[in-house]
Amino acid sequence: MPKVSDAHRRARRDQIADAALRTFAAKGFQSTSMADIIATSGLSAGAIYGHFSSKQEIMYAVAARILGNRTAAVDELADAAELPTPGEMLSAMLRGLDHDLSDTQLLLQVWGASASDPEMHAVMLDVVGRLVDTYRAYLVRWSIRSKDMDEASAAAFADRLVPTMLGLAQGYIVQRALFPDFDGEQYLAVAGELLPR
Amino acid sequence: MPKVSDAHRRARRDQIADAALRTFAAKGFQSTSMADIIATSGLSAGAIYGHFSSKQEIMYAVAARILGNRTAAVDELADAAELPTPGEMLSAMLRGLDHDLSDTQLLLQVWGASASDPEMHAVMLDVVGRLVDTYRAYLVRWSIRSKDMDEASAAAFADRLVPTMLGLAQGYIVQRALFPDFDGEQYLAVAGELLPR
DNA sequence: GTCTATAGCCGGATAGAC
DNA sequence: GTCTATCCGGCTATAGAC
């Protein structure tokens, strides 16, 4: 049980996670040392271990936040009265990544870590699972409204399309993070033309 | 200059790279220790450092090989007399990944490492650059032959489509590596329907 | 070229004062 | 809750014999 206010605890955890996020993005999960996080956060070892029990826990917290950022973007539009087209949905989900590369780079780190760390894998599946659910529900509603599908064919349509749309998003992320000359606008334009509308 | 035959040197390097590849895929680049590679390869520390000057060099060699495996698949079909459709090309490029997850998992590791290690980034860009060139040349020829485009519009068409097609491939890789229930056949079927044909 | 053994370093986590 | 100081383990890379 907290000895200071919950708000303070929350703020400290965020301060630590923020510092960790910056160093993780710059140096990678594994090459970031606790000393790096300590220096960047302006706190001390003792302070940090009072809020996180290990470096791994910090990694998982950062990963969940980064993944959550993407779902937040989708959640907003999925409930809008004016349903966007699949192409617009894709753009909305990804546009937030362009201003700051940190999230994009970290997503690659999270994927890489998930391939060999079961706990990271579980964290990732949990957050992405919610994103997929939202996406799927949106596609069902969109195809019913805009394509006059009945419930059953809309569900089948969404089940088929979700992985491929998600794949387009993942490809965008890889290229945004790694290709110096990546043209995100063009990528999204082409994707929008390929996707149903 | 080698004191034994080039073939022997090559074989030893491959033996080391094979062992490293297996441990890298299982534990990740950074969590794999030289002791792991030593144990898996059946060689000794001295033997390994006689062929690679550092663990990083082993990583780069493995990365280049893994990426090269994908380009090899594309190279084969790009020169065929019977040009495949874009959807078939995508399938051909990715189908080799399904039997053994090692390559798929390692691709995620390579992407993650490329985000923070400039040398890995350079290795990756070099190999992927060749793949992109091949892909682009194929798309130019396909659109000329099957779509009756002139040279200029074929080039523009290919420039626009290559990143998105590559993105579909990258999405496939992420999901194959990380999603337990991933249905690769369906993914490729949907992608094939979206792509021009 | 390959082995064994080890040097030398660095990183995560803790102890104990405040 | 937070600080400083430090312990301990594990890691990469090398030394030196064969």
Chain D positions with any atom < 7 A from a protein CB: 1-6, 10-17
B125 and B167 co-located in one domain: yes
B109 and B136 co-located in one domain: yes
> Which pLDDT score, from 0 to 100, does residue A4 have?
63
B167 and B87 co-located in one domain: yes
Q: Å from A14 (CA) to D2 (C1')?
A: 17
Contacts of A24 (CB under 8 A, 6+ apart): A32, A59, A62, A106, A109
% chain B with pLDDT above 70: 98
Contact of B120 with B63, CB cutoff 8 Å: yes
Chain C positions with any atom < 7 A from a protein CB: 1-6, 10-17
Q: Establish whether the CB of A51 is closer than 7 Å to any nucleic acid atom in strand D.
A: yes
Q: Which residue of B has its CA nearest to A184?
A: B163
The string of pLDDT tens digits covering residues A4-34 is 688 889 999 999 999 999 999 999 999 999 9
DSSP A84: P
Contact of A150 with B130, CB cutoff 8 Å: no
DSSP A83: P
Collapsed DSSP state (helix, strand, coil) of residue B96 = coil
The string of pLDDT tens digits covering residues B3-20 is 568 888 999 999 999 999
Spatial separation of the C-alpha atoms in residues B62 and B32, rounded to whole Å: 13
A70 and A4 co-located in one domain: no
Question: Hey, how many other C-beta atoms are within 10 angstroms of the C-beta on B82?
Answer: 6
Spatial separation of the C-alpha atoms in residues B114 and B129, rounded to whole Å: 14
How far is CA B165 from its chain centroid? 15
> Which pLDDT score, from 0 to 100, does residue B4 have?
64
SS3 of B58-80: HHHHHHHHHHHHHHHHHHHHHCC
Spatial separation of the C-alpha atoms in residues A114 and B105, rounded to whole Å: 9
Q: Which residue of A has its CA nearest to B122?
A: A178
B3/chain A closest Cα distance in angstroms: 37
Question: Hey, how many other C-beta atoms are within 10 angstroms of the C-beta on A99?
Answer: 8
> Which pLDDT score, from 0 to 100, does residue A102 have?
97
Domain count, chain B: 2
Q: Which residue of B has its CA nearest to A32?
A: B116
B75 and B19 co-located in one domain: no
Spatial separation of the C-alpha atoms in residues A128 and A76, rounded to whole Å: 16
DSSP A197: -
What backbone torsions phi and psi does residue B27 show, to the nearest 5 degrees? -115, -10
Q: Establish whether the CB of A54 is closer than 7 Å to any nucleic acid atom in strand C.
A: yes
Q: Which residue of B has its CA nearest to A31?
A: B30
B169 and B185 co-located in one domain: yes
Q: Which residue gives the smallest C-alpha to C1' distance to D1?
A: A47
Whether the pLDDT of residue B58 is over 60: the answer is yes
B103 and B181 co-located in one domain: yes
CATH of the domain at B119: 1.10.357
B45 and B106 co-located in one domain: no
Residue type at B175 in one-letter notation: Q
Contact of B32 with B24, CB cutoff 8 Å: yes
B132 and B46 co-located in one domain: no
CA distances from B122 to A141, B55, B72, B114 (A): 44, 17, 19, 8
Q: Establish whether the CB of B170 is closer than 7 Å to any nucleic acid atom in strand D.
A: no
Q: Collect all residues of chain A within an 8 Å Cβ-Cβ radius of residue B112.
A: 28, 108-109, 111-113
- Please, what sign has the CA dihedral across residues B51, B57, B59, B63? negative
Contact of B71 with B147, CB cutoff 8 Å: no
Maximum CA extent, chain A: 60
Q: Establish whether the CB of A45 is closer than 7 Å to any nucleic acid atom in strand D.
A: yes
CATH of the domain at A32: 1.10.10.60
> Which pLDDT score, from 0 to 100, does residue B163 have?
98
Are A170 and B169 within 8 A, CB to CB? no
Q: Establish whether the CB of A34 is closer than 7 Å to any nucleic acid atom in strand D.
A: no
Query: For residue A168, which of A106, A93, A75 has the smallest C-alpha distance?
Result: A93
A172/chain B closest Cα distance in angstroms: 6
A17 and A63 co-located in one domain: no
DSSP B180: T
Contact of A177 with A107, CB cutoff 8 Å: yes
Chains A, B: CB contacts within 8 A come to 142
The string of pLDDT tens digits covering residues B82-136 is 999 999 999 999 999 999 999 999 999 999 999 999 999 999 999 999 999 999 9
Q: Which residues of chain A have pLDDT under 70?
A: 1-4
Query: For residue A42, which of A70, A16, A73, A14 has the smallest C-alpha distance?
Result: A16
Spatial separation of the C-alpha atoms in residues A187 and B8, rounded to whole Å: 46
Range of the domain at A73: 55-194
> Which pLDDT score, from 0 to 100, does residue B1 have?
43
Whether the pLDDT of residue B2 is over 70: the answer is no
B122 and B111 co-located in one domain: yes
B67 and B136 co-located in one domain: yes
- Enter the tokens of residue A147: 């394509």
> Which pLDDT score, from 0 to 100, does residue B81 have?
86
Last residue of a domain, one of A38, A53, A68: A53
B4/chain A closest Cα distance in angstroms: 37
Contact of A140 with A158, CB cutoff 8 Å: yes
Q: Collect all residues of chain A within an 8 Å Cβ-Cβ radius of residue B167.
A: 167-168, 170-172, 174-175, 187, 191
